[in-house]
Structure 1
Amino acid sequence: MTAAPDLGTQPDFQPGTHPDTHPGIRHRLASPDLLRSVFRRHAAGVAVITARGERPVGFTATSLNSVAAEPPLVSFGVGVTSSSWPVIAEARYVGVHILGEHQAELAATFARSGADRFAPPTAWRPGPEGVPLLDGVLAWLVCRVVARVPAADHRLVVAQAVAGDPSGAGRPLLYHQGRFNALRD
């Protein structure tokens, strides 16, 4: 055992060694199923990303992150096989919508393949830069796309906020264990 400052004792584990040589460490080899299983245990906020194209496009995202405050940058991932990708790939601006716990059905609509996501009952309007803005969300941003970084069969999109509104009422919608959930008190 090796003593680590302020961490107590840790088992000796050298990078490149196989975990089977360390009793008590259970593991599975990395795979898409392992990654999905691990991230089902990670509660994430739910957002919808939109963009203006010939027709508006949008998709549900749980990969939204705040990247920096100065300048104000966000990031999200999008699959290149997504029906929204061709528009997102060319869009100068995107909308980022933080959903409330009352919007699980809206999240499901924007996650559903082949759905007409902007048809009623979805309420929306054109916002700054013509970006589709969803009504009733907790908060929204319109962001200028500054980078699209290849990441396997996805792209990591980095965008700078140019306008927004954080004044929606309610509590956030979460995604956990493969389902949309509300916070518990």
Structure 2
Amino acid sequence: MTATPGLGAPQSIAIASPDLLRSVFRQHAAGVAVITAQGGSGPVGFTATSLTSVSAEPPLVSFGISTGASSWPAISGTTYVGVHILGEHQRELAATFARSGADRFGAPTVWREGPEGVPLLDGVLAWLVCRVVARVPAGDHRIVLAEVVLGDPAGPGRPLLYHQGRFNGLRD
């Protein structure tokens, strides 16, 4: 095998698999968001690193969610979701919303009911309330497209990142 100029020497090549995908994306630093919604028996939410700005006109975002996630039943039927961009001071909040079986909205999580009944988390860098416009099948996940209705970009702090399976802050 010959190395491609600029790419370095090949180290290990693997056949496509879920493990390969996870390993490659551990190298990709991603911003951390929490998606919330009002479910039939109360608020639901989950940590997402798949948040993407899709379109400016109209303002659209997307995120992925597993159809096996505990939040999926609520997300599958809700009209509105909350999107929260977490700060580096919110590692524990990110971990709580990522942990299966956690009481995500119990203490110490601070939240309030926002517009359209969407649970809004306090202390985040920024938040949006969005109207779901599509749920697109994608393997064992759904890609949710949502139109921004309103939000607040003015929270203090620096963004939280997810890299190598850990929540991290930015380094200067």
TM-score by length of 1: 0.87
Q: Percent identity?
A: 77
What is residue 17 of structure 1 aligned with on the other side?
none
Q: Secondary structure at the match of 1:109?
A: helix
The Cα shift of 1:53 comes to 1.4
Q: 1:121 aligned to 105, 108, 111, which one?
A: 108
Q: Is residue 162 of structure 1 aligned with residue 141 of structure 2?
A: no
Structure scoring higher RCO (CA < 8 A, sep ≥ 6) equals 2
Report the residue type matching 1:78 in the other structure: I
Q: Is residue 53 of structure 1 aligned with residue 39 of structure 2?
A: yes
Report the residue type matching 1:150 in the other structure: P
Distance 2:21 2:106 in 1: 34
What is residue 30 of structure 1 aligned with on the other side?
16
Q: Is residue 72 of structure 1 aligned with residue 63 of structure 2?
A: no
Distance 2:68 2:22 in 1: 18
Number of equivalenced pairs: 164
Q: Is residue 150 of structure 1 aligned with residue 137 of structure 2?
A: yes
Q: Spell out, residue by residue over 1:149-178, the C-alpha distance to the aligned partner (whole angstroms, 9 max, x if none).
A: 001110000000001000000000000000
Q: Secondary structure at the match of 2:64?
A: strand
Distance 1:38 1:85 in 2: 25
The Cα shift of 1:27 comes to 1.8
Report the residue type matching 2:27 in the other structure: R
What is residue 13 of structure 1 aligned with on the other side?
none
TM-score by length of 2: 0.93
Q: Secondary structure at the match of 1:52?
A: strand
4+ residue runs of structure 1 moved beyond 3 angstroms? none
What is residue 72 of structure 2 aligned with on the other side?
85
Unaligned runs of 5+ in 2: 4-9
Q: 2:117 aligned to 96, 120, 130, which one?
A: 130
Q: Secondary structure at the match of 2:23?
A: helix
